[in-house]
A = this chain, B = another copy of it.
Amino acid sequence: MLKGTINADTFRDSIDAVAALVTECRMHFSEQEVWIRSVDTANVAMVILTLQREAFNTYEATPGELGLDITKMKNIFTMMGKASEVSLDYPDGANKIEVRFEGYHYAITLLDTSTIKKDPNSPGIELPGVVTVSGSDLYNTIKSAAVVSDKMWLGINPDKKVFYIIAEGDSDHIEREFSADEMISCNYSQARSLFSIDYLKDMGKVMAHASEVTIHLGTDHPVKFSFDIAGGKGHVEYLLAPRIEAD
């Protein structure tokens, strides 16, 4: 059973974060929090969303899970208009979730959770490089890199004291270095891995709204992006597997 009200913005940010990677997912809830952990169909990228009960204006739940059609959840955005709050109501064992806002009552049929891709395990990887930048700076750089290539390097150069992004096209080359005064923080630990720009663009569009995104990097290892939503009462993590450089 889940019954709560949530700010329209938090609702939107949460759905958008998941929608960047999957079109359906399993949503778990307990007395303390709501969480989603999903991997994209190609098993390349993972999203972990957590909303503490404090991210809701009112919250009541007994442990359970339900199957969300993300596309239908996004339809709600169109309807919400200037509504400031959304209420969610999922009675035990129901096959619908009732969504209410400003005179609207929207009953959405849930997905059978047994038909949804299994939740991934959280990978226990150590990533030495840690850098924090503004989400919009990060997204702008990803979009620029997309102009010349479909993959890009993310790296930290401890000697030059920079976090960098490099994209190499067939004939052109783009490099963006973030110097100390353009970063919120950086541990200047050597790192360099190659990633698919398609995934980064989808994630970047969401991260663009975060004032701070922390990036965990290794060498030829996955990257982890993490940022807060709901004023710190919610949290999103993206994990993306590296690409192998074809020589």
> What residues of chain A have their CB less than 8 Å away from a CB belonging to chain B?
72, 75, 78-79, 81, 103-109, 140, 143-144, 147-148, 171-179, 182
Closest approach, in angstroms, between the C-beta of A99 and any C-beta of chain B?
9
Residue on B nearest A106 in the bound complex, by CB = B174
Complex formed: what's the CA distance from A75 to B147 in Å? Answer: 7
Q: Could you list 23 examples of A-B contacts with CB < 8 Å?
A: A78-B143, A78-B147, A79-B140, A79-B143, A79-B147, A81-B140, A103-B182, A104-B144, A104-B175, A105-B173, A105-B174, A105-B175, A105-B176, A105-B177, A106-B144, A106-B172, A106-B173, A106-B175, A107-B173, A107-B174, A107-B175, A108-B171, A109-B172
Is A104's CB under 8 angstroms from B72's CB?
no
Chain A: interface secondary structure?
A: mixed
Complex formed: what's the CA distance from A72 to B170 in Å? Answer: 13
Complex formed: what's the CA distance from A79 to B103 in Å? Answer: 40
Closest approach, in angstroms, between the C-beta of A32 and any C-beta of chain B?
30
Instruction: Report which of B103, B107, B174 forms a contact with A178, defined as CB distance below 8 A.
Output: B103
Complex formed: what's the CA distance from A179 to B79 in Å? Answer: 18
A177 — which chain B residues lie within 8 A by C-beta? Answer: 103, 105
A103 — which chain B residues lie within 8 A by C-beta? Answer: 176-179, 182
Complex formed: what's the CA distance from A72 to B172 in Å? Answer: 9
